[in-house]
Chain A
């Protein structure tokens, strides 16, 4: 098995070029003594759809937890807009995290609130808008994801695909610069999964939001991915990075080719 790490093409841009939104520098992640990933090094460019891929159990979701402020790395730095996420004070981190939105795998909607209240809560907490304005904004965000008339429903009353869409609407509530998606197509039928992909692309094109997508859905990552990193479960390292289609056609690493070509070597 090759542990050769292909140097990512972006490495020439190590000092913060203006369009880099996230820099991950030599990050090691783990829970206690369990190592999840080590020596992670990559940058995410503004306006890209950035894919974090790899087989089950390789630590994709853990990487997302570190990038979204839920898990401190054991080593290394994560820079969000040139500010270190984990070396900042609690207050500064909260400020930094307001620039990101997260759609969780199951939607993670607050089950005791209606869909509109779910989208409205971040606005209530962080803005001085009036009740009326917040309602209008929440309705508008729900309309963006195609659920304009569902504001009064509770999360338990709608389908899984709709819940994910509301998750997107809530993640966008504060107009973040970066949106994270944890396995957007997991548990969806192919059609709903493609609709979610279209939504991601449309939002990126219209709002210029950087999208970080964790997925192992090949159709999806070829369709939307501009740039990607491939995490390996065995060596617990980043195996390669680059455009998914190019990795599929030109990667020298057998695992990556096998993954992206549905198992052919």
Chain B
């Protein structure tokens, strides 16, 4: 069989790779490799080689019977390569020959590499000598459905344990703090207070003013139908002070500060900085988590008061400009509507939200694995955990406040 000859007109220096059976010999099946076996060429599919080998095997008995010697079974004839017309090669040929090796193996044929270029033989040898990966109980197709449920459940139990341990260590840290023995740096506490408190003022201003305006608009449209536009002041004031101010602050802090805590502590985990603290006998719980908890428990109520004020201003803006209520009337109405019990509800909620944000940020940071991807996951998870628990806490607190008659 002859190799397919390329048209001579195009690029005479590049001959497409080809494969063909060589002259039939009694002692071997010969595969002729010719042309430029390079990755930028169109490499023949391995099935071509398989077809050629099978053809050689099929016709061999008749051919060998002519020969003087006894009929040799095909398996005794090795496969050989003929490479006199092989012009160039790279890993395209290496993988192709490796494929032929597999074909021969499947047909119990010997594959003789002697005619191949020396470098190619070495590359094949290297690829074959890769030590097998250390034995692991590998699940080839991934765990099945039932296994996965089991694994997830085990995971849940383990992470619940971790969370319990976190809060246990946290309780010990608080005890040390109350006894004045906690190991943390006061200067760092002030920095965290500034970063999580004062630095959050602009975004809290913007969000709460706008939410106040939105509440004002909705209230104004509805109340105007009853000619009771002045009650916008009650609506905006109460909604903001009881719940919205704290909720806005909590959610903004979850995205802003909780994420920062998780990323910061997670990165420290990656850099072995937490290990370094531990070997010095400094509990990371006291050194890293405690100041962050303190900072947020202190700052969230303050930020909430500020958010309340801005929210009321947003309502006032709509009430006076759109609703036409006079400034004094609006302020007096607001003052009359809001009692201390409402403000206290908001502040208690805020404290709880602050603790939730700090705890989830620090927890996810401490649980962080040792890679950049793990830091990303920790950050995401911190924000999600914080927001979920803030909303749950808001619902629970509302029920409690109603039950103890604080909202009356």
Contacts and interface: CB of A to CB of B under 8 A. Distances in A.
Contacts of A111: 267-268, 271, 273
A150 B276 CA distance: 21
A203 interface: no
B188 A97 contact: no
B183 A70 contact: no
A142 interface: no
A100 interface: yes
A110 B269 CA distance: 11
A65 B282 CA distance: 16
A108 B188 CA distance: 19
B142 interface: no
A148 interface: no
B279 A69 contact: yes
A259 interface: no
A108 B276 CA distance: 7
B281 A97 contact: yes
Interface in B229-281: 267-268, 271-273, 275-281
Interface string A77-98: 0000000000000000011011
Interface string A101-142: 110111011111000000001101110000000000000000
B188 A106 contact: no
Contact of A106 (B183, B272, B277): B272
A97 B268 contact: no
A185 interface: no
A125 B282 contact: yes
A70 B273 contact: no
A70 B275 contact: yes
Contact of A102 (B188, B267, B268, B279): B279
A100 B185 CA distance: 23
Interface residues of B, number: 17
Given A112-B188, A125-B183, A70 B279 contact: yes
A98 B281 contact: yes
Contacts of B273: 108-111
A220 interface: no
Interface in B276-293: 276-282
A234 B131 CA distance: 12
Contacts of A37: none
A68 interface: yes
Nearest to B131: A234
Nearest to B274: A108
A71 to B, nearest CB: 10
B199 to A, nearest CB: 16
A77 to B, nearest CB: 19
Nearest to B183: A125
Which has the most chain A C-beta neighbours within 10 Å: B267, B268, B272? B272
Contacts of A70: 275, 278-279
Nearest to B172: A90
A104 B272 contact: yes
Contacts of B278: 69-70
Contacts of A101: 279
Nearest to A32: B158
A2 to B, nearest CB: 17
B279 A68 contact: yes
Contacts of B275: 65, 70, 102, 104, 108
A105 B268 CA distance: 14
9 contacts: A68-B279, A69-B278, A69-B279, A70-B275, A98-B281, A100-B279, A104-B272, A110-B277, A125-B183
Interface of B: 134, 183, 185, 188, 267-268, 271-273, 275-282
Interface of A: 65, 68-70, 94-95, 97-98, 100-102, 104-106, 108-112, 121-122, 124-126, 170, 174, 234
- Nearest 3 A/B pairs, CB to CB: A94-B281, A108-B272, A108-B276
